[in-house]
Structure 1
Amino acid sequence: MDATIEVHDLRKRFGRAVAVDGLSFGARPGQVTGFVGPNGAGKSTTMRMLLGLDAPDEGRATIGGRPYRELRAPLHEVGALLDAGAVHPSRSGRDHLLWMARSHGMSRKRVDELIELVGLGTAGKRRAGGYSLGMRQRLGIAAALLGDPPVLMLDEPVNGLDPEGIRWIRGFLRALAAEGRTVLISSHLMSELEDSADHLIVIGRGRLIAETSVAELLAAASGERVALRTAARTEAMGLLAREGATVAANGPDSLTVTGLTTQRIIALLTEHSVPFSEVSAHRATLEEAYMELTRDAAEFQAVVHAADGTGHENGDPR
């Protein structure tokens, strides 16, 4: 099966509210693709349209060139986790997986393998109604993996996991992509995507803001800034400004400098006997880059949220 996810000029409205507005992007095999944007940006709605749970008003959402409804054996082609709470509370985790497996002719052995793989262990025999959020996330990931699909779509898979679980899923997702699978994950935890994603789809107000690699986005956000730490902040700011630099204070002893190279800054400070403890090229975090990209969209949605009184940004309950 072709494991490519494609979205072409996708549009969706809920009443007067526009949830997705002409969105186009792709997610390719062999990569973990992060799908990010402010609350109400249209991420969950887009994933629901990819899975045939919402019908687009316009455009196409396909997996391997076909709409989800045309897939003959969905569990073997696409694994998805949209809502970790979508489990019957009186059914054990193992039984939840077992009825799904039987619908596609899969064995008990496969269910037991996945329970161990995701770290549920003996908890698989307990009622799912007593699971923590992290345990429900693990169960949902196991369900997504049942058919050993080449495509995985996970909405906020890290939510509720403890530190050990976060480390596990970070490595696990990268291992799945290394096998040639397409892995699309939405997340609001930029620090996790920085360590696990190869490619990013950034949306706001239902529109594409950026489609780029994590490395390219971080390089662009970092620019040519230099981080300087000095006990003589005022002296350093005056000296560097006279040399044509733009200097911003970040704290009592920290500055960000643009317009001069690291080597030039060190030479100037040394020449004028201005003490310093650190001079280094600034490396933006993914969170900084993301906030810069989405600032306008986030501010817009906050205004809409306050004005419409719906309790949901952009009027989208998803």
Structure 2
Amino acid sequence: MIVVSGLRKRFGSHTALDGMSFAVEPGQVTGFVGPNGAGKSTTMRVILGLDAPDAGTALVAGRPYRSLTRPLCHLGSLLDAGALQPGRTARNHLLWIAHSQGLPSRRVDEVLERAGLQTVARRAAGGFSLGMRQRLGIAAALLGDPPALMLDEPFNGMDPEGIVWMRQHLRGLAAEGRAVLVSSHLMSELEDTADHVVVVGRGRVIADTNIAALLKTAAAGRVTLRAGASSIDAAAGVLEAEGASVSRTDVGTLTVTGLPAEAVVTLLTTRGVPFAEISSHRATLEEAYLELTRDAVEFRAATGSEAAA
């Protein structure tokens, strides 16, 4: 288990962390998301003892990472898939890490197989694609068979097959009872992978919640109604008379709030108003994320002359 409590960190005049607090529970994948500059990388570096906080604590199995004996047996991490000696083979890269932790050589072969790298184990890692380096990084993180894992952008560089593998692999690790923290900008992948999400901005936690609950809140009970040109106005009138809020979002399409889909169907059917389709709105994690971080983005790309300046 990873527990972050009240982390504060400044770099000169810049506040990177401003009371960051959350926990990564065993048996689930926790997504860690936020805009660039939100404090995700700094938080992960503090957890690993690479940066010292000005205040607060980051504990792994109840202790600071630096105080752990054989730390890879408590927390496996992947922050930079390119952090390797390019002339070493994949197997030798893992061997020196394993030896540093007092782990047996057979463990190297086990994680190579689990990462799908057994056929390229004796190739120089410097010639690997980014996706293969990600797999090698996952293998390194698993060397100590740790109960917790922390991965930064593990989907980067993956081809479609690799993305499916990564998604299934992460869920499999959680199913084994491990606590898995995954930072990513790929909301669609996290939506299909994570059970829980921690959304951060400006060094603080904005939301710390179950993904299903977050998406339900983001959907806000909206219903999409499609009807022909001859009945769309009549449908809007019937629904507004019942207290619903109705807005026209496209030709022949209404967005309805204040009434569930079943009630909309009953009302229009009873009043004899024809319609083509009614569906409850299903929010995406990306939609929920953008709404939550609307005021937490420190930099937005400029266009035209602003970009040139």
Of 179, 183, 196, the residue aligned with 1:182 is: 179
Post-superposition CA distance 1:63-88 (Å, at most 9, x none): 11111110011111110000011011
Identical-residue share of aligned pairs (%): 63
Deviates more, 1:264-273 or 1:163-172: 264-273
Q: CA deviation at 1:96?
A: 0.7
**Cα contact 2:61–2:74 (8 A) shared by 1:** no
Determine the structure 2 residue equivalent to 1:203. Answer: 200
| 1:91 aligned partner, one-letter code | R
Counterpart residue number, 2:6: 9
The C-alpha deviation readout for 1:92-139, integer Å capped at 9, x for no partner, is 111111111121232332212211211123222221221111011001
SS, match of residue 112 in structure 2: helix
* Paired residues for 1:1-318 under 5 Å: 4-232=1-229, 233-271=232-270, 273-298=272-297, 301-302=298-299
Report the 3-state secondary structure (helix = DSSP H, G, I; strand = E; otherwise coil) of the residue aligned with 1:173.
Answer: helix
Matched AA of 1:38:
P
Distance in 1 separating the partners of 2:244 and 2:65: 55
- CA offset digits 1:274-305 (Å, max 9, x no partner): 4322212222111111111111112xx026x8
Paired residue type of 2:8: R
Cα distance in 2 for partners of 1:229, 1:71 equals 60
2:287 is paired with a residue whose SS is helix
Give the deviation of 1:5 after TM superposition: 0.9
User: Could you give the per-residue CA deviations for residues 164-222 of structure 1, whole angstroms, max 9, x where no partner exists?
Assistant: 21112212212211222111111111112222211111110001101111121112112
Amino acid of the structure 2 residue aligned with 1:207: R
TM-score, normalising length: structure 2: 0.91
Unaligned 5+ segments in structure 1 are 312-318
- Report the secondary structure of 1:231's partner residue: coil
Q: Which amino acid aligns with 1:116?
A: E
Over residues 224-282 of structure 1, what are the superposed CA-to-partner deviations in whole Å (9 max), with x where a residue is unaligned?
21121223344433443344322233333432201223233223433555432221222
Report the structure, 1 or 2, having the larger helix content: 1
Matched positions, count: 301
Q: Aligned equivalents of 1:290 and 1:227: distance in 2?
A: 21
CA distance in 2, matches of 1:184, 1:155: 8
Q: Which amino acid aligns with 1:262?
A: A
Separation in structure 2 between the aligned mates of residue 155 and residue 95 of structure 1, nearest angstrom: 23
Change (3 A) 1:283 1:107: same
Q: TM-score, normalised by structure 1?
A: 0.89
Partners of 2:104 and 2:129 lie apart in 1 by: 27
3-state SS of paired residue (1:216): helix
Greater mean alpha carbon deviation, residues 117-126 or residues 248-257: 248-257
Q: Answer with 208-217 or 99-108: which moved more.
A: 99-108
- Counterpart CA distance in 1 for 2:241 and 2:299 is 41
Amino acid at match of 2:250: G
2:47–2:65: 8 Å Cα contact kept in structure 1?
yes
> Post-superposition shift, 1:90?
1.4
Counterpart-to-counterpart distance in 1, 2:249 and 2:189? 25
Equivalent-residue separation in structure 2 for 1:43 and 1:241 (angstroms): 44
